[in-house]
Amino acid sequence: MSLTNFIDSGECVVIIKNLVNTFRNTSLYKGVQKQAHRFEQGALDLLPDATFNKPKTVKMISDIGHDISSAENRLILGVTALMTQPFIDAKNKNVDEETRRVSVCRTIAKIIAGTLTGYAIRKGAIKAIRAWSQLPAPGVSRYRTLFTPKGARSTNTEAYKQYQNAMGTVVALVVMMFTNFIIDAPLTKFLTNLMVKNSGGDKK
Amino acid sequence: MSLASFMEKVPSKIANQWSKFKVHMLKNYGENPGKMLVHTGTLGWILSSLAQVGAVVFNDKISSEQKSFLIPQEIADAAVNIISFYLITNSMKSFGAKLVSTGKLRTKRIRNFLEKNELMGRVGKRDFNIGELDNLGSLADHYKAFKNGVDVVTSTVGSIISCNILTPILRNEYASKRQKKALAHRQEYQMKNIQHPKGISIADYQKLSALKYSTKNPGLRV
**Cβ-contact A150, B22 below 8 angstroms:** yes
DSSP string, chain A: --HHHHHHTTHHHHHHHHHHHHHHTSHHHHHHHHHHHHHHHHHHHHSPPEEE--HHHHHHHHHHHHH--HHHHHHHHHHHHHHHHHHHHHT-TTS-HHHHHHHHHHHHHHHHHHHHHHHHHHHHHHHHHHHT-PPP-TT--GGGGTTPPTT---SSSHHHHHHHHHHHHHHHHHHHHHHIIIIIHHHHHHHHHHHHHHTT----
- Among B1, B104, B105, select the one facing A2 at the smallest CB separation: B1
Domain span including residue B104: 11-173
Residue B151 inside a domain? The answer is: yes
Separation between Cα atoms, residue A175 and residue A167, nearest integer Å? 12
Please give the radius of gyration of chain A, using alpha carbons only, rounded to the nearest integer.
Answer: 25
Partner-chain contact A68 B33, CB within 8 Å = yes
Q: What's the complex ipTM?
A: 0.79
Query: What is the predicted pLDDT for the residue at A121?
Result: 96
* Choice between B214 and B180, residue whose per-residue pLDDT is larger: B180
Best interface-test mutation with B: which of A63, A92, A102 has the largest number of B CBs within 10 A? A92
* Choice between B42 and B191, residue whose per-residue pLDDT is larger: B42
Query: H helices of chain B, where?
Result: 3-29, 33-57, 64-101, 108-116, 139-159, 167-192, 202-212
Number of domains in chain B: 1
Chain A partners of B146 at a C-beta cutoff of 8 Å?
Answer: 58, 61-62, 65
Closest Cα in chain A, distance from residue B200 (Å): 32
Chain A partners of B106 at a C-beta cutoff of 8 Å?
Answer: 49-52
Nearest to B94 by CA among B143, B136, B32: B32
Query: What is the predicted pLDDT for the residue at A60?
Result: 95
Separation between Cα atoms, residue B93 and residue B160, nearest integer Å? 12
Nearest to A74 by CA among A179, A173, A7, A156: A173
Tens digit of each residue's pLDDT (9 = 90 or more) over B89-134 = 999 999 999 999 999 999 999 999 999 999 999 999 999 999 999 8
Mean pLDDT, to the nearest integer, of A50-76? 92
- Among A65, A85, A163, select the one facing B26 at the smallest CB separation: A163
Separation between Cα atoms, residue B121 and residue B115, nearest integer Å? 9
Residue B91 inside a domain? The answer is: yes
Tens digit of each residue's pLDDT (9 = 90 or more) over B20-30 = 999 999 998 88
Partner-chain contact B146 A58, CB within 8 Å = yes
Mean pLDDT, to the nearest integer, of B160-176? 84
Query: What is the predicted pLDDT for the residue at B197?
Result: 54
Tens digit of each residue's pLDDT (9 = 90 or more) over B56-95 = 788 787 777 777 777 887 787 788 888 888 999 999 999 9
Percent of chain A with pLDDT over 70: 93
pLDDT at A24 over 60: yes
Separation between Cα atoms, residue A68 and residue A198, nearest integer Å? 36
**Cβ-contact B78, B53 below 8 angstroms:** yes
Closest Cα in chain A, distance from residue B96 (Å): 10
pLDDT at B146 over 90: yes
Q: pLDDT-based confidence at A7, cuts 50/70/90?
A: low
Separation between Cα atoms, residue A102 and residue A91, nearest integer Å? 13
Residue B212 inside a domain? The answer is: no
Q: Number of Cβ pairs closer than 8 Å across A and B? A: 175
Best interface-test mutation with A: which of B3, B164, B166, B171 has the largest number of A CBs within 10 A? B164
Query: What is the predicted pLDDT for the residue at A1?
Result: 58
Chain A partners of B169 at a C-beta cutoff of 8 Å?
Answer: 88
**Cβ-contact A59, B139 below 8 angstroms:** no
Closest Cα in chain A, distance from residue B22 (Å): 5
Separation between Cα atoms, residue A32 and residue A165, nearest integer Å? 35
Separation between Cα atoms, residue B104 and residue B98, nearest integer Å? 8
Which residues are bridge partners to A50 per DSSP? B105
pTM of the entire predicted model: 0.77
Partner-chain contact B145 A65, CB within 8 Å = yes
Closest Cα in chain A, distance from residue B68 (Å): 23
Percent of chain B with pLDDT over 70: 84
Query: What is the predicted pLDDT for the residue at B177?
Result: 78
B164 to chain A, any CB pair closer than 8 A? The answer is yes
Chain A partners of B98 at a C-beta cutoff of 8 Å?
Answer: 40, 44
B50 to chain A, any CB pair closer than 8 A? The answer is yes
Lowest-confidence segment of A41-45, B11-15, B36-40, B125-129 by average pLDDT: B11-15
Give chain B's length: 222
**Cβ-contact A84, B165 below 8 angstroms:** yes
pLDDT at A29 over 70: yes
Percent of chain B with pLDDT over 90: 35
Residue B206 inside a domain? The answer is: no
- DSSP label of A49: P
Nearest to A181 by CA among B35, B70, B54: B54
pLDDT at B217 over 50: no
